[in-house]
Amino acid sequence: MRKVLLALAAGSSLLVTDAAIAQDASAGIWAARPRVRKIAEESVPANSLPGLAVGLTVQTSAGKAIGRVNQVVTGNDGSIRKVIVVSPVGNLFKVSPTSLTVDQGVVITTEERGG
């Protein structure tokens, strides 16, 4: 019985190895494996957006209100790394600080978003 089990184990490991090689060669399942992506985040010096604060209205450059500032994420050096906005319906989304200006207490973005 032991010999039979050892033979089955050896045979099944060969099948698995062959399947893995076949999948790798055809770019099958291995191509679908999720990969960790490191996206370089753009940041701006904190003094480039004076007046930026939680609660300010965020508008597109066309004047459409898309939400309010929910969070300002800063780096160790004090730079603004990202701005989290909450839409009128409660969805959170990130806005690049390089797309922002602050004018009379309103945050204006050049990014086009639905509200």
- Mean pLDDT by groups of 10 residues along the chain of 115 residues: 59 50 52 56 87 96 95 94 95 94 96 65
Tokens at 45, concatenated: 């010096």
Q: What is the CATH number of the domain that holds 87?
A: 3.90.50.10
Q: Provide the whole-model pTM.
A: 0.63
**What pLDDT is stored for residue 9 in this prediction?**
59
Q: In the prediction, which pLDDT does 108 show? A: 97
* 18 within domain boundaries: yes
Is 25 domain-assigned? yes
Range of 7's domain? 2-32
- Asked whether residue 41 is domain-assigned, the answer is no
Edge-to-edge order in the sheet of strand 100-103: 92-95, 80-86, 65-74, 57-60, 106-109, 100-103
Tally the domains of the chain.
2
Residues 50 and 102 in one domain: yes
Residue 33 has a CB neighbour count (10 Å cut-off) of: 6
- pLDDT number for residue 46: 85
Q: What count of other Cβ atoms lies within 10 Å of the Cβ of residue 3?
A: 7
Measured between alpha carbons, how far is 40 from 38 in angstroms, rounded to an integer? 6
Tens digit of each residue's pLDDT (9 = 90 or more) over 1-29:
656 555 555 555 544 444 445 455 555 55
Q: What is the pLDDT of residue 19?
A: 46
What is the rounded distance in angstroms from the CA atom of residue 80 to the CA atom of residue 52?
10
